[in-house]
Amino acid sequence: MRKLLVAAAALTLGMAAMSANAAPNVTAPLIERTKFFGNPNRTQGRISPDGKWLAWIAPRDGVLNIWVAPIADPAKTKPLTDEKKRPIRSYYWAPDSGSILFVNDKGGDENFLLYGVNVVSGAQKTLTPFEKTRVQVLNISRLVPERVLVGLNNRDPRWHDVHSLDLKTGKLILVFQNDGFGRFMIDEQLKVRGGAKSRPDGGTDFYAIEDGKVSDKPMDSIDFEDDGATGPMGYTTDGSILYWGESRGRDTSALVAQDVKTGARTVVGESPKVDVLGAMFNPKTGKVDAYAVNYLTTEWKPVDPAVKGDLEFLKANLKGEIAVTSRTDADDLWTVAVDPVTAPSALYLYDRKAKSLKKLYVTRPELEGATLAAMHPVEIKSRDGLVQPSYLTLPPGSDANGDGRPDKPLPLILLVHGGPWGRDAYGYNGLHQWLANRGYAVLSPNFRASTGFGKSYVNAGNLEWGAKMHDDLLDAVDWAVKNGVTAKDQVAIMGGSYGGYATLAGLAFTPDAFACGVDIVGPSNLNTLLSTVPAYWEAGRKQMYRRMGDPGTPEGAALLKARSPLTKADQIKKPLLIGQGANDPRVNQAESDQIVKALQAKNIPVTYALFPDEGHGFARPENNIAFYAVTEHFLERCLGGRAEPFGTALAKTSMTVPHGAEFAPGLEAALKAKVQ
């Protein structure tokens, strides 16, 4: 594992008269919701370090579990786990290939525990059996096959103590008691060599750690302006080189190699337009083989000539966005994912010596042959000159000449990403495809504060929640209107986490800008949001305050109040649908409760869907299918698109509707049918 600097999680958020728009002319057949939001057939396929096994995540009795098969005999596939409720969404190969590690929580509370399961016997054990504890897998090294390093916050919920975990016995040994470090630098011998502490000004100091002892003075420092784009990425196998993402003295983050002995730094990869997105590290040496940059689309750039031919071969033979997802210790076999955008992604086994590709699976075979929509990268200029890299998807049949502009204006969904310190990217997007199939144009702008486009772009969003960040979204809508994509009165806003906040802000601060909104786990009150973030976000608290506003100061609290949609909830007059997980540790249920209560008091119609077994977003496909069934009927009434009948969409969901079922077309009847 090469990401050695493990951070405390950053905040990743995400009725007036109805419009009488006519339904858009969509030529493609309506595709069932289950094909977009049901379980994938298979996903996250990875080869074992010894090259003998292939693992993946797939449904078992309707719940995502881990499966394996011998590479030599793929027919002998078998499930390794038997989760009954909560889907498994990530896993790791143990370095000796004898077991698989995975994490899971309860009902979306994000108190992740670590589990191990033997590949041959299927025996499973809980490796971190602690309540109200969130495990971090800090490093897995192929040089140390018998153990891994994990972080546990069961002593102090704010900080993760470093433990050595014996994979065979499950024994945990304390390596470093953590009293203030948010991240650690760990080499491939599983030695803790450094750690990062946040400063009161929002910057970060790095301290050397040797045999558990911390240096008196920092060995390196990062100012707040660089904090989001600068940090260690990993050591080479011999520990002689430390790779950094580095934005100090530049705008975009470069990939830099630092000689550990001399401190000398060499630029390995860079782009004047974007940060280095990621890198391929050699499984034997730990050196960088290639790196990726992504402005509008992803481009892999080889560093080691030994992989140049491999990347060229893959690019020539696989059409779409390509990613190498795993490599054997011998580096003879790779798993390679390809995303064709207008078709479901697939996984291939690549034999480097034979220069051959074997298709292992398609993630969603039920979508093969379906008429899916192209995604068009576009650049949108904001009113103050910033350029937003953005993505536009149009309904099939609406763009006869394929120029990325519809033949006539369409109803538009402005789909806002979460974070806000994240980004949208080019590729197959289930939400884009589903909405386009229903007859909507879909626009996802990377507004200021989005990551990957240089530190100045991120920092341009500081203290601009609901202000310049919102202006960017309005400018994206104006662009769409001026370019004939949509009409001004045919735009809905939708998003999760920060995107949910943007939805609430859009309806509250600019009540005539959108025809309706769909908020998924979005905060409504920024002061209460910051007062209830998880304890283990302590390391990033000062950075959040500098980017959003400091609730501990009168000026900051006033700013946060002014930027909270709850403050102007009485100005909301357009239809609103809210989805919330009851166990959300990031955006508590109270964030949705508050604004629903405020709207109730003013007799402003709002539909509130609550999920008692979910957290920050919806993991169970039954819940996604139910919420998006409600959403498409809500949007049909608002903008006139198509909607699949409810049918059995609510049959297995936990969704309750505490308020406003009558404001969502067909929802009351569907809920009654579920009860019967």
Residue 610, SS3 per DSSP: strand
Give the integer Cα–Cα distance in Å for 431 and 628. Answer: 9
Catalytic residue among 275, 399, 584, 613: 584
Phi, psi of 520 (to 5 degrees): -115, 115
| Element holding 443 (H helix, E strand) | strand 441-445
Q: Is 329 a catalytic residue?
A: no
Q: Is 163 a catalytic residue?
A: no
CA nearest neighbour of 286 among 334, 231, 238: 238
Q: Is 584 a catalytic residue?
A: yes
Burial 438-447 (b: 16+ CB within 10 A, else e): bbbbbbbbbb
Who contacts 588 (Cβ-Cβ below 8 Å, separation ≥6)? 528, 529, 532
Look up residue 322 and give its two tokens: 């390509």
Asked if 537 and 136 count as a contact pair (C-beta separation under 8 A), the reply is no
Sign of CA dihedral 569, 570, 576, 580: positive
Catalytic residue among 417, 470, 616, 659: 616
Catalytic residue among 19, 345, 450, 497: 497
CA distances from 440 to 60, 172, 181, 577 (A): 34, 53, 46, 18
Q: Counting Cβ atoms within 10 Å, is residue 271 exposed (0-12), middle (13-18) or buried (19+)?
A: buried
Residue 476, SS3 per DSSP: helix
Give the integer Cα–Cα distance in Å for 656 and 667. Answer: 11
Give the integer Cα–Cα distance in Å for 345 and 349. Answer: 14
Give the integer Cα–Cα distance in Å for 88 and 67. Answer: 11
CA nearest neighbour of 260 among 229, 276, 237: 237
Who contacts 430 (Cβ-Cβ below 8 Å, separation ≥6)? 36, 37
CA nearest neighbour of 417 among 490, 339, 459, 472: 472
Look up residue 194 and give its two tokens: 């450094």
Asked if 672 and 651 count as a contact pair (C-beta separation under 8 A), the reply is no
Residue 676, SS3 per DSSP: coil
What is the full DSSP assignment across 334-383? EEEEEE-SSS--EEEEEETTTTEEEEEEES-GGGTTS-PPPEEEEEEE-T
For the annotated catalytic residues, the residue numbers are 497, 584, 616
